[in-house]
Chains A and B, each alone.
Chain A
Amino acid sequence: MQFSTAENAPTFPTVWRHKKVVKTSAPREQQFSNMATRNVHPIVRVNGIHKYFKRGSEKVDVLNDLTVSVPEGEFLGLMGPSGSGKTTLLNLIAGLDRPSSGEVWVGDNLISQMSESQLSAWRTRSIGFIFQFYHLLPVLSAYENVELPLLLLPLSKSQRREQVTTALDLVGLKDRMWHRPGQLSGGQQQRVGIARAIVTDPQLIVADEPTGDLDAKSAGEILNLLEEVRKILNKTIIMVTHDPRAAERADRVLHLDKGRLIEDIVKATTGSV
């Protein structure tokens, strides 16, 4: 990958940052130099949430009394059998759905209490999404796909251009800017997906099986890229995966089963929680 050190890493212009509702607790440089401090500031706090879905008259419990805390700058893996509630948990953290009970905090925001339109605005600025099937709009070029979330922010065309090219540069696709998704390989499409996730410079990136549809080589490249995004841009990443090799890249892996947390593996190298 092209950015090996923090010095030559791209920085986002982040022109709208001063308007953001969420304040970061420490200056950026300090976060870069002192990764250990991240443990002190959990960016995601999930407190005793329950989530059930109604299927006809029947209530299906998906998450049961779940409590999770994710420190700022952490790369968290979520594993578990199919149907265990991983996507559901991710949706709750990312503000795509609301818990039946319990609280979800992201930064200083109690997102489990926000209205749908508040959540929409909040998601644009605060969350980057990466999907298993990329979910790029087929009619738009890579550039336009990455630009999409920026259309929702008060940015001029040239400000948007700056952000988009920075993001595409970071994922190494600047030369494919005007290709449509259909003209890109799976791995390349996922990189566009990553560029779209980071282009608004969110605090938190959530990824639902980002390598699930890729061959081993492309998957490895995507994981490298995610690690870089985490290191260079100091993002917090929560990634759902079925792939043990992907999980290996995470600082910490949570195992879900039938809506409960059964294991919390913390790797020795990244310190304790």
Chain B
Amino acid sequence: MKFLGLIVKNIGRNAIRSILTALGTMMLVFVVTLVWAILAFLNVALSEKNANFKAIITERWQIPSQMPYTYASTLCEGAATKPDDVRPMDSMTWQFYGGSIEKDRAKRGMNNVLFAFSLEPIKLLTMMDDLDNLPSATAAVFGKSVKALQDNRQGIILGRTRMETLKKKIGDTFTIYSMNYKDIDLEVTLVGEFPEGRYNNSAAINRDYLLAAMDAYQQKNGKPHAMANKSLNLVWLKVPDSATLGKITAQIESSPLFSNPQVKCETASSGIAAFIEPYRDLIWGMRYLLAPAILVTLSLVISNSISISVRERRSELAVLKVLGFRPNQILTLVLGEAILIGALSGLISSCLTYGIVNFPPPYGFGGIKFPIAFFAAFSIPLAALWWGPALGAGTALVGSFVPAWGARSVKVSEVFSRVG
């Protein structure tokens, strides 16, 4: 690598041009990284786990889904009625309860609201994504929180960020003034916290408490609460394989129990697929038009800059040849320059993109909001840290090859007979 110094010095020769090329590369790598991150995210979201996956049951014709709570017990059995009907391995019901710890409506805002899953506490350990495979130490701690929620019907578990925002600590008791269950305000005690991670902003309450509060309302007011018939938002089922899922789906969809409103049963990925269906052309365009177009542009930017620099240096390259540099060494020098610029600016760009997108505020965006199904935000995968440099280096190689080949075949006798 005796030539590395020479390569670096040549990059420094026209600093402005090198910096502009690097900036161009960085911008384009940034865009490609975002596009690829979205595509990679969709790939993961759309790919079905092939065993022990989850199905979601929702109201068929309406978003948001609001089903009568009476559906819960039968749906949790996969609508199995006969002895030879198939049943899911596990299940979970979700009711969304949103409220604020601030009584005064005018003062409600991001730092006093919370949205809670109302569920059967034990399901937090078996049915929630990422909480069902915690490292054992974390699982033990979280297990205690779940136990506490189970023992104390009026308990609540909060994510860490939410806890900080609300300025509550474990043991605190406070009232949540409901926003979607009119007049059903809940007095809760903070009994535990979610493990660090995707549930940092979440909250969970015991479903028994919400159901009891609705019964109390009915007793007090002599009529059921307006939400009584539509408090069940989702039912999750865990199934061993897609054959079982098929059977359960058939049981549910053919059951007379779920006719008003009708329900549908699908997997997370088929749900997402249905959701992004309208954007299919857009995603196709991103994958097959936008991303390649950016790569081509990137190569052209580099090609242009290297061509100019080779043209300017024709006689210098000829001198190197005269001194005995072989054609392939000249090729290496020129390619090396392009690849170094490409790889470095790719690396810088992908590190910045990674940091800015993924780090929580105030350093970054804390993920890009992407309202598909239940994914709150998505982040740039760690792999982007090598995509960036690889992308920069790869396009630099492609872009600089033609000018570098030109440099390689500079004929010294021609250059000097004209100069001399």
Q: What is A's interface to B at a CB cutoff of 8 Å? A: 87-88, 91, 94, 96-97, 116-117, 120-125, 129, 131-133, 135, 137-140, 144, 148-149, 151-152, 196, 208-209, 240
Contact = CB atoms under 8 A, between A and B. Distances in A.
Given A87-B420, A97-B413, A208-B420, A135 B326 contact: no
Contacts of B3: 151
Given A87-B416, A139-B9, A139-B10, A124 B324 contact: yes
B322 interface: yes
B324 A120 contact: yes
A146 to B, nearest CB: 11
Contacts of B323: 123-124, 129, 148-149, 152, 196
B341 to A, nearest CB: 15
B126 interface: no
Given A96-B412, A120-B326, A149-B324, A137 B316 contact: yes
Interface string B313-344: 00110011111111101000000000000000
A208 B322 CA distance: 13
Interface string B114-147: 0000000000000000000000000000000000
Given A138-B13, A139-B12, A140-B9, A87 B322 contact: no
Given A87-B417, A91-B413, A96-B412, A129 B320 contact: no
B12 to A, nearest CB: 7
Contact of A120 (B13, B319, B325, B416): B325
Closest 4 CB pairs of A and B: A124-B324, A97-B413, A139-B9, A135-B319
B110 interface: no
A135 B321 CA distance: 12
Secondary structure call for the B interface? helix
A208 B416 contact: yes
B383 interface: no
Contacts of A120: 321, 324-327
A96 B9 CA distance: 27
B316 A88 contact: no
B419 interface: yes
Interface of B: 2-3, 5-6, 9-10, 12-13, 315-316, 319-327, 329, 412-413, 416-417, 419-420
Contacts of A149: 323-324
Contacts of A96: 322, 412-413, 416
Most chain B CB atoms below 10 A, which of A96, A121, A133: A96
Given A91-B416, A129-B323, A135 B13 contact: no
A94 B160 CA distance: 77
A129 B13 contact: no
Nearest to A125: B324
A131 B3 CA distance: 23
Contacts of A196: 323
Nearest to A141: B9
B325 A152 contact: yes
Given A135-B315, A149-B324, A88 B417 contact: yes
Nearest to A129: B322
A97 B417 CA distance: 11
Most chain B CB atoms below 10 A, which of A139, A148, A209: A139
Nearest to B14: A139
Given A96-B412, A120-B326, A152-B324, A137 B319 contact: yes
A25 B417 CA distance: 33
Contacts of A140: 6, 9
B44 to A, nearest CB: 47
A201 B108 CA distance: 86
B420 A123 contact: no
A137 B329 CA distance: 16
Contacts of B329: 152
Contact of B322 (A122, A123, A209): A123
B323 to A, nearest CB: 5
A139 B322 CA distance: 18
Nearest to A128: B323
B320 A148 contact: yes
B324 A131 contact: no
Contacts of A138: 13, 316
A123 to B, nearest CB: 5
Contacts of B413: 88, 91, 96-97
A91 B325 contact: no
A32 to B, nearest CB: 27
Most chain A CB atoms below 10 A, which of B13, B315, B419: B419
Given A124-B324, A139-B9, 16 more contacts: A94-B322, A96-B322, A116-B327, A120-B327, A123-B324, A129-B322, A129-B323, A135-B315, A137-B319, A139-B10, A139-B13, A140-B6, A140-B9, A149-B324, A151-B6, A152-B324
Contacts of A88: 413, 417
15 contacts: A88-B413, A91-B412, A94-B322, A96-B413, A117-B326, A120-B321, A120-B324, A121-B326, A123-B322, A131-B419, A133-B419, A139-B12, A139-B13, A140-B6, A148-B323
Contact of A132 (B5, B316, B326, B420): B420
Contacts of B6: 140, 151
Nearest to B416: A87
A140 B3 CA distance: 12
Contact of A91 (B316, B324, B326, B417): B417
Contacts of B319: 131, 135, 137
A132 B2 CA distance: 28
Contacts of B324: 120-125, 149, 152
A72 B327 CA distance: 31
A152 B316 CA distance: 16
Contacts of A133: 419
Contacts of B412: 91, 96-97
Contacts of B315: 135
A182 to B, nearest CB: 12
Contacts of A131: 319, 416, 419-420
